[in-house]
Amino acid sequence: MKKRFLLLLIILLPFALAEINIDGLDRSEYNFGDEIKISGYVQEDNAVSGYFELTLRCGSVEFKLPRTLVSLNSGERKNFPNQLKIPKITIPRSLEGSCDIRASLVSNNQEVDYGLSDSFMITDELIGSFNIDETRIQAGKSFTLTGEVFKLDNDPIEGSAEMYFNRGDESFLVDIISIKKGKLNYKYVPVSIPEGEYSIDVSVSDLYGNEFLFEDVASFTLMNELYVFAKTDSRIVDPGTRIKISGEATTVLQEGVDNANVEIIFGDEKYTTKIKDGKFEYELLIKEDVKSGS
């Protein structure tokens, strides 16, 4: 009986060196106007000359960056951005959502190879913190709202803020102010709005188109009620004599009232005097023909 042997021939093929690799991104979330910093390399098994091209892709929307000239020998690897210069990658307002970067090697108008980055998010979300110095406000008195607003990379923004006051189901725009170096400082004197409970919303926009509504960042109670206390220096007076009336006016917060007048009514007559440091005095002349009584 003849034995048969099977001869296996193993042919070793050259290892394929063709590869475009993007090592990684510096962050996973970006705002409009941010710079994306990437690194990586391109390597081909055959010598090639052409262009290195980067494309920002968000769904069906693409944004191509300027091409870079590249020349590779067989098996040569070039790292970017050190050996192979690439353009600055700045996120435009037209891209948003889940995105990635496609790196392509193009020669003779044909794509030789490509590589993809990890996915990342582009959003207009901002970060902010706020503080109000007073929460119970008397009408005519001021309060100050301060805050700091940053992009997701903690870079302070330059832009503007719309200030909204909310009372019940009502919301109204109070003012629009500037934000510089991330700082917000808003002083408000409530003189023409109704008393009650208010919350504050702040809608922020920066120079790159990032927009975010910070809701209920602070609240305050506005009060307009005053207390007036008065007394006379005598309980019994005669016609033709004078009676001194004195007193004070305070707010609900027990603060003295300034820049105000007191109106005194005696019979059919009205008299006015000013308040100074929360106090007032007035000498009232009792007419000769006044009727007796209380």
- Residue 149 in any domain: the answer is yes
pLDDT per position as a tens digit, 224-273: 767 687 888 778 888 878 888 887 776 666 566 667 888 888 877 787 88
User: Is 137 found in the same domain as 104?
Assistant: no
- Residue 257 in any domain: the answer is yes
pLDDT of residue 234: 76
User: Is 260 found in the same domain as 187?
Assistant: no
User: Is 155 found in the same domain as 205?
Assistant: yes
pLDDT per position as a tens digit, 19-53: 899 987 889 999 999 999 999 999 988 899 999 99
- Residue 9 in any domain: the answer is no
Residue 64: is its pLDDT beyond 90? yes
User: Is 37 found in the same domain as 84?
Assistant: yes
pLDDT per position as a tens digit, 198-209: 999 999 999 999
- Residue 191 in any domain: the answer is yes
Write out the residue range of the structural domain in which residue 267 sits. 226-285
- Residue 84 in any domain: the answer is yes
Answer yes or no: are the C-beta atoms of 89 and 68 closer than 8 Å. Answer: no
CA nearest to 141, candidates 260, 46, 29, 10: 260
Q: Which pTM value belongs to this model?
A: 0.74
pLDDT per position as a tens digit, 108-145: 999 999 999 999 999 999 999 999 999 998 888 899 99
pLDDT per position as a tens digit, 259-276: 788 888 887 778 788 888
Q: pLDDT band for 4, please (50, 70, 90 cuts).
A: low
E strands within 11-108? Answer: 19-25, 29-30, 35-36, 38-43, 48-58, 61-64, 68-72, 77-80, 89-90, 97-107
